Structure 1
Amino acid sequence: MSKKWAIEAVSRRAFMRSAAFAGASAWAGGALAQSALDEIINAPRRGTWDDQFDAKASRTATAVVSNTPTFGPETIGHLQQAIFDYQQIVSNGGWPQVNAPVKLQLGVADPSVQQLRQRLMISGDLPRSAGLSNSFDSYVDGAVKRFQARHGLPADGVMGEFTVKAMNVSADMRLGQLQTNLVRLQSMSGDLGRRYVMVNIPAASIEAVENGRIALRHTAVVGKIDRQSPILNSKIYQVILNPYWTAPRSIIQKDIMPLMRKDPTYLSRNAIRLFDGAGNEVSPDTVDWFADKAPNLMFRQDPGKINAMSSTKIDFHNEHAVYMHDTPQQGLFNKLMRFESSGCVRVQNVRDLSTWLLKETPGWSRQQIEATIKRGVNTPIKLAEEVPVYFTYITAWSAKDGVVQFRDDIYQRDGEMQLALQTPFGLEGGVAAVEEGNLPQ
């Protein structure tokens, strides 16, 4: 396959060049819309499956991930270049809407595939040499997968509901999203620390960064739109193995009180005990669960497999009473929409992150961590050196030259409702979402 799949590096000098010169680069400018389409239309039509099929396209198209941190020193320059490129796309008419009477995927032949090809060429996901045939061939399959990967969608090559929605967001709206996020990134352009953890809420993802490179990536579950994870800068000061879970007041009121009215055994089944201000245990039978307000008691869950934080809690200073933690509900990490918590952040493969956080703390190897978790005893561990943590809200960035990433504006902060593509209100909520960890009922 042509090496045009490879995205050429764009220097800061190139960013300052004129639009005419910058537009000469097929990938750097995402291809100037009209000139690109003219060239395609005037080119010989290519549509037979024999000369279009190239499995390598599908295998390489999703290679859009970089080990450069979202807050890396190159990111602002790349994002400025992306803004320049999208300005050119907008000034040349944007890209067409994709409207298909059938589900488009590998093997389909339909006139609407021509629209899809045009759309992918203008955004730089499909090389112009692929032509404008009606065939959804391996080139289109690879381009769709690349597009999906850039938008945080499962890269399956199928034009499903969310892929179509993301593809039909207009170029000028995407340009505005890039400009909004440039301001956010510029606010985080200082020295973030030798080692730090970055939680990107819209992406529901975590980066552990060391010496300017990503050491670990983690899938996350973050707050629902009505219980949002906060934007914050803090420092991780301890990891707790086999933690107790103390229910926040809001969850006691909104979730546990209604559960106890329906099922008086709920607390005992979930190993949650009540304590008064003096530390004395209080029987649930003495509480009026039908009262308007929750009792002024501490609701604490014992360590164990059903604990809402499972094996691990990661503590950092903040006024919102949020933290990062493990969860017994590991299936949540496989969901497309991972906006289900009450503000805290659940971390997939959290023991990897704990090992990284504790690697400079003497006596806490991975083996020691695993052995301690197996014993089931509550064990707080102070870090030898606190590690900065940043909860951020970045919906558009370009950490790798020429690869522009977009995520849904899940909390509707970018100013356009159409950018909140995945509505969180369809999720099960209320008593089914007792936090942190979807406690069994």
Structure 2
Amino acid sequence: MQASRRQFLAGIAGLATAAVPGTSFAQDVLSDIFQASGRGDWDMQFDARASQGGKVASTLPIFSPQTLGYIEQAIGEYSNIAAQGSWNTVPDTKKLQLGVSDPDVEALRRRLIITGDLSQSAGLSTEFDSYVDSAVKRFQARHGLPADGVLGKYSYAAMNISAQVRLGQLQTNLERLRPYTQNTPSRYVMVNIPAAQIEAVENGRVVQRHTAIVGKIDRQTPILNSAINEVIVNPYWNAPESIVRKDIIPLMRKDPTYLTKNNIRILGPSGEIDPTTIDWSTEDAAKFRFRQDPGANNAMASVKINFPNTHATYMHDTPQQSLFNKLMRFDSSGCVRVQNVRDLVTWLIRDTPGWNRQRFEQTIKSGESTPVQIAQPVPVYFSYISAWSTGDHVTHFRDDIYALDGAQELKISSL
């Protein structure tokens, strides 16, 4: 009796498991089997198990001993791949997506199988079917890319970084992460700079995760440890001297009404200064203080989150909410903008007597600048973790935006 296709595929998985530890990484065995002349012309109607898929999102904090263990497991897996010669390169000249039939899809399938994004049983055909679509989305999610299933330049760039380079990135970040996993408080906020993401953690679980905007390459967000001790509702914004020099003075040269339009006042030793009395062809204005009134145009919008540090860095809201939809969210002058910041503030002030979400929202509507001292300061960590794992072969990589990982190809934002 002829064996069914499903039985044959199960046999492949079993053989791969016996030949090389870790079924997701048995590249050589799979290549021999799938390229055998007698394997037949399989159609593309694989069952649901043909796509390994699986959840990428996790409530496991990056700062946890479990994460360390998972990174060590990932290092073992990527060492195995590197020892076999890395994975194949996927040609990056075409827009591959659902419904496409192209020889390059076979190389894509092979690449996705090796890192466990696509099940081995999916085979090596030229069809970009729904299982490949799911696998590409999983790969994109693990790399902080829009999970749209479409192969573009950033997806190709991330996919074609060699296993050896990824291994080095994991090893670098393992050591980078170790100090953060010792005596971690039960409640804290972690800003991951290369991921442009924030975790609010409580009792070993991520209770909130926020998209962030962090510093530009030439105005980097610093790595620091502190404790959030104050929230200012409807804050005034005091422009740093660097922004005055690099942004405000050039804007005033183009549009003398810029300050008035944006409710920014110039404050000197004797009070407010008329902008028309300043020579904007020079940088004399940099010696004065520029303060923006609270309101809809304020650079920090509704709220500012303060913590002691030597960098004059803070977290805040923004009137430019569309920036959170950008792929490369490295647009600030060093401070961190927080999407859905009101949820984070509500969590921060919950143990502060007299404050809750309702009063917070009412204070925003009042338009009055109101400082709130947090009863129990919450530790905050600005860190640089560009590679980590949450287990089950879910290994995350992010763009090495500040080039701290030691390999140029890890900085895909430079493309």
* TM-score, normalised relative to structure 2: 0.92
Q: Deviations over 1:104-124 (max 9, x none)?
A: 111111111111111111111
**Does the C-alpha gap of structure 1 residues 387 and 57 become closer, same or farther in structure 2, counting only changes over 3 Å?**
farther
Identify the match of residue 308 of structure 2 among 317, 330, 346: 317
Q: Does 1:148 align with 2:148?
A: no
Between the aligned partners of 2:210 and 2:302, the Cα distance in structure 1 is 16
User: Which of 46, 50, 55 is the matching residue for 1:52?
Assistant: 46
- Opposite residue 403 of structure 1, the aligned amino acid is V
* RMSD between superposed Cα atoms in Å: 2.0
Number of the residue aligned with 1:35: 29
Go from structure 1 to structure 2 and tell me whether the alpha carbon gap of 1:246 and 1:45 turns closer, same or farther (over 3 Å shift). Answer: farther
Structure 1: 5+ residue stretches without partners: 3-19, 425-441
Counterpart of 1:232? 224
Q: 1:34·1:93 contact (CA, 8 Å) conserved in 2?
A: no
Q: Does the alignment pair 1:196 with 2:188?
A: yes
SS at match of 1:74: helix
Match of 2:320 in 1: 329
Q: Residue 265 in 1 paired to residue 263 in 2?
A: no
The reply on whether 1:397 has 2:392 as its aligned counterpart is no
Would the aligned equivalents of 1:207 and 1:217 in 2 still touch at CA under 8 Å? yes
Aligned residue identity for 1:338: R
Q: Contact conserved, 1:40 with 1:128, CA < 8 A, in 2?
A: no
Equivalent position of 2:13 in the other structure: none
For 1:263-301, what per-residue CA distance to the aligned partner results, in whole angstroms no more than 9, with x for missing partners?
A: 2111111100111235x2222122222224434221100
Residue 423 of structure 1: CA displacement?
A: 2.2
Q: Which 10-residue stretch deviates more, 356-365 or 32-41?
A: 32-41
The SS at the match of 2:250 is helix
Kindly provide the amino acid, as one letter, of the partner of residue 221 in structure 1: I
Inter-partner Cα distance in structure 2 for 1:179 and 1:46: 42
1:207 lines up with 2:237 in the alignment: no
Question: 1:305 and 2:302 equivalent?
Answer: no
Q: What corresponds to 1:345 in structure 2? A: 336
Quick one: which amino acid aligns to residue 316 of structure 2?
H
Residue 420 in 1 paired to residue 411 in 2? Answer: yes
TM-score normalized with structure 1 length = 0.86
CA distance in 2, matches of 1:422, 1:375: 41
Alignment of 1:83-162 (within 5 A): 83-99=75-91, 101-162=93-154
Judge conservation of contact 1:33–1:94 (CA < 8 Å) in 2: no
The percentage of aligned residue pairs carrying the same residue is: 58
> Which amino acid in the other structure matches residue 201 of structure 1?
I
Residues 360 and 106 (structure 1), Cα distance of their counterparts in 2 relative to 1, 3 Å cut: same
For the Cα contact (< 8 Å) 1:62–1:149, is it kept in 2? no
Q: Deviations over 1:111-161 (max 9, x none)?
A: 111111111111111111001111111111111111001000111111111
Where does residue 10 of structure 1 map in the other structure?
none
d(CA) in 2 for partners of 1:80, 1:171: 15
Cα distance change, pair 299–76 in 1 and its aligned pair in 2 (3 A):
same
Cα distance in 1 for residues equivalent to 2:40 and 2:156: 25
Q: Contact 1:198–1:207 at 8 Å: present in 2 too? A: yes
3-state SS in 2 of match to 1:371: helix
- In structure 1, the residue corresponding to 2:337 is in which secondary structure? strand
In the aligned structure 2, how far is the partner of 1:57 from the partner of 1:131? Answer: 8
1:238 positional shift: 0.5
Q: What is the rounded CA distance, in whole Å, between the counterparts of 1:228 and 1:361 in structure 2? A: 32
- Encode CA deviations 1:173-203: one digit per residue, 9 max, x unaligned: 1111111111101121212212110000111
Secondary structure in 2 matching 1:52: coil
Deviations 1:325-377 (A, max 9, x none): 00000000011110000000000000000000001111111111101000110
Question: How many equivalent residue pairs?
Answer: 399
Please tell me whether the aligned partners of residues 50 and 118 of structure 2 are also in contact (alpha carbons under 8 angstroms). no
Counterpart for residue 372 of structure 2: 381
Q: CA deviation at 1:36?
A: 3.3
Partner of 1:11: none
Amino acid at match of 2:66: E
Residue type of the partner of 2:119? P
**2:228–2:380 CA contact under 8 A, matched in 1:** yes
Amino acid at match of 2:28: Q
Q: Which residue of 2 aligns with 1:433?
A: none
How many Å separate the matches in 2 of 1:296 and 1:148? Answer: 47
Q: Secondary structure at the match of 2:290?
A: strand
Q: Conserved in 2, the CA contact under 8 Å of 1:46 and 1:132? A: no
Q: Secondary structure at the match of 2:318?
A: coil
Asked if the contact 2:224–2:381 (Cα under 8 Å) also holds between the matched residues in 1, the reply is yes
Match of 1:64 in 2: 56
Q: Distance in 2 between matches of 1:138 and 1:306?
A: 45
Partner residue, 1:81: 73
Change (3 A) 1:276 1:72: same
1:173 aligns with 2:193: no
User: Are the aligned partners of 1:199 and 1:207 in contact in 2 as well (CA < 8 Å)?
Assistant: yes
1-structure distance, mates of 2:50, 2:43: 16
Structure 2 match to 1:359:
350
Compared CA separation, residues 305 and 218, structure 1 to 2 (3 A)? same
